[in-house]
């Protein structure tokens, strides 16, 4: 069994209900192999934690940036609470060492593990909220999530790749990018697209996705890298 006391020491938080802390790290797959395990999986806690994180971040942005329009604050919030950032924070906090996973799931790395870590981070916040209340959660979220905001604003990662590529292209070469489908395949319910992004006649990059929007975003992201913008 994992030693969750190490986490409590790390965060200087003593859980009244240790079961909540264990549940936060229990992936659904673990219960398939351990059906008599004392705790449920973490998906309900994840649902709660997601809402708590969003509220804490929204409240902070609303108070700290009174002159910023709602649209910009929404973009900042989305960049702060997305799975990529939350999974990296969870990794930095060594949540990997505490995950309760099936043997098969434990071997998975890459994107699958990223999502598990992001979901576990949300579940941990949900368990923290139930056990310690909102103000403790607020401090935790400010320390580990909101602290990412300055670098997000500076690097402008809150803007999607298409917006960023269009701004850069118009500023640097005076051309608005266009997108064309280069290839599409698969059955109607599972189409796949390759889309190219062009500056005039020049094909700068192509991207793939299960929707045109996803493929365009991928193409724009690659174009930014190729142009070193």
What proportion of the chain, given as a percentage, has pLDDT over 90?
Answer: 67
Q: Which of 14-23, 31-40, 75-84, 155-164 has the lowest mean pLDDT?
A: 155-164
Q: Which of 8, 33, 46, 50 is catalytic?
A: 50
122 is annotated as an active-site residue: yes
pLDDT score of 160 more than 80: no
Average pLDDT over residues 128-135: 98
What integer pLDDT is reported at residue 225 of this predicted model? 92
160 is annotated as an active-site residue: no
What integer pLDDT is reported at residue 27 of this predicted model? 94
Mean pLDDT computed over every residue of the chain: 92
Q: Which of 54, 59, 105, 122 is catalytic?
A: 122
Tens digit of each residue's pLDDT (9 = 90 or more) over 175-202: 999 999 999 998 888 889 999 999 999 9
The pTM assigned to this predicted structure is 0.72
Tens digit of each residue's pLDDT (9 = 90 or more) over 88-108: 999 999 999 999 999 888 887
Three-state secondary structure string covering the chain = CCCCHHHHHHHCCCCCCHHHHHHHCECHHHHHHCCCCCCCCCHHHHHHHHHHHHHHHHHHHHHHCCCCCHHHHHHHHHHHCCHHHHHHHHHHCCHHHHCECCHHHHHCCCHHHHHHHHHHHHHHHHHHHHHHCHHHHHHHHHHHCHHHHHHHHHHCCCCCHHHHHHHHHHHHCCCCCEEEEEEEECCHHHCEEEEEEEECCEEEEEEEECCHHHHHHHHHHHHHHHHCC
Domains and CATH numbers, the chain: 5-155 (1.10.1520.10), 161-227 (3.30.160.20)
């Amino acid at each position: 069994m994992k030693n969750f006391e190490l986490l409590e020491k790390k965060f200087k938080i003593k859980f009244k209900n240790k079961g909540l802390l264990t549940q936060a790290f229990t992936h659904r797959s673990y219960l398939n192999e351990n059906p008599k395990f004392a705790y449920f999986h973490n998906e309900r806690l994840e649902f709660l934690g997601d809402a708590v994180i969003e509220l804490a971040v929204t409240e902070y942005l609303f108070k700290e940036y009174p002159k910023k329009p709602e649209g910009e604050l929404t973009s900042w919030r989305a960049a702060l609470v997305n799975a990529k950032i939350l999974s990296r924070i969870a990794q930095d906090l060594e949540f990997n060492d505490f995950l309760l996973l099936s043997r098969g799931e434990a071997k998975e790395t890459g994107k699958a593990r990223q999502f598990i870590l992001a979901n576990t981070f949300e579940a941990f916040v949900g368990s923290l909220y139930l056990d310690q209340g909102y103000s403790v959660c607020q401090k935790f979220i400010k320390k580990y999530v909101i602290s990412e905001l300055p670098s997000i604003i500076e690097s402008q990662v809150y803007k999607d790749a298409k917006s960023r590529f269009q701004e850069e292209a118009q500023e640097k070469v005076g051309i608005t990018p266009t997108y064309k489908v280069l290839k599409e395949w698969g059955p109607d319910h599972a189409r796949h697209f390759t889309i190219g992004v062009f500056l005039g006649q020049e094909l700068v990059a192509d991207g793939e996705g299960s929707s045109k929007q996803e493929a365009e975003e991928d193409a724009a992201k690659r174009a930014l890298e190729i142009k070193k913008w």
